[in-house]
Amino acid sequence: DAGVTQSPTHLIKTRGQQVTLRCSPKSGHDTVSWYQQALGQGPQFIFQYYEEEERQRGNFPDRFSGHQFPNYSSELNVNALLLGDSALYLCASSLDRVQEKLFFGSGTQLSVL
């Protein structure tokens, strides 16, 4: 039973570029949430996708956008990258949108130079 998978594992971009991160949820899970974890900080909620729609959004600018596909996989897109976007991006899946037990992927480490 595959857990949550994320790709790529590492990414280096320069300021102003755009990036797309991908996530496949744990088998049987239909809800995907994205978190940003800066060095020395706890994960911060970006948004949650359920039934292919953004259901909740944290305090992140519109440069952060996402998508969920019919197979429940998800993408996180960040436009006009800033140095401060450098972080570990974590995808978490759950059985449904009210399920509190989250399963995290191993994350994508994004470095913006």
Partner 1 sequence: RKEVEQDPGPFNVPEGATVAFNCTYSNSASQSFFWYRQDCRKEPKLLMSVYSSGNEDGRFTAQLNRASQYISLLIRDSKLSDSATYLCAVNEGRGSTLGRLYFGRGTQLTVWP
Cis peptide leading into residue 43 (ω within 30°):
no
Calpha distance 93→113 (Å, rounded): 30
> Least distance from C-beta 42 to partner 1, angstroms?
3
Residue in 12, 106, 111, 113 binding partner 1, rule: CB under 8 A? 106
CA proximity to 5, closest of 72, 65, 64: 72
Identity of the residue, 16 or 92, whose beta carbon is nearer to partner 1 in the bound complex: 92
* 24-63 binders of partner 1 (CB under 8 A): 31, 33, 35, 40-45, 48, 56, 58
Strands 53-57 and 74-78, how do they pair? Answer: unpaired
Q: Does 75 bind partner 1 (CB under 8 A)?
A: no
The single residue listed with the structure tokens 């519109």 is 62
Calpha distance 10→77 (Å, rounded): 15
Identity of the residue, 53 or 96, whose beta carbon is nearer to partner 1 in the bound complex: 96
Residues that bind partner 1 (CB under 8 A): 31, 33, 35, 40-45, 48, 56, 58, 88, 90, 94, 96-102, 104-107, 109
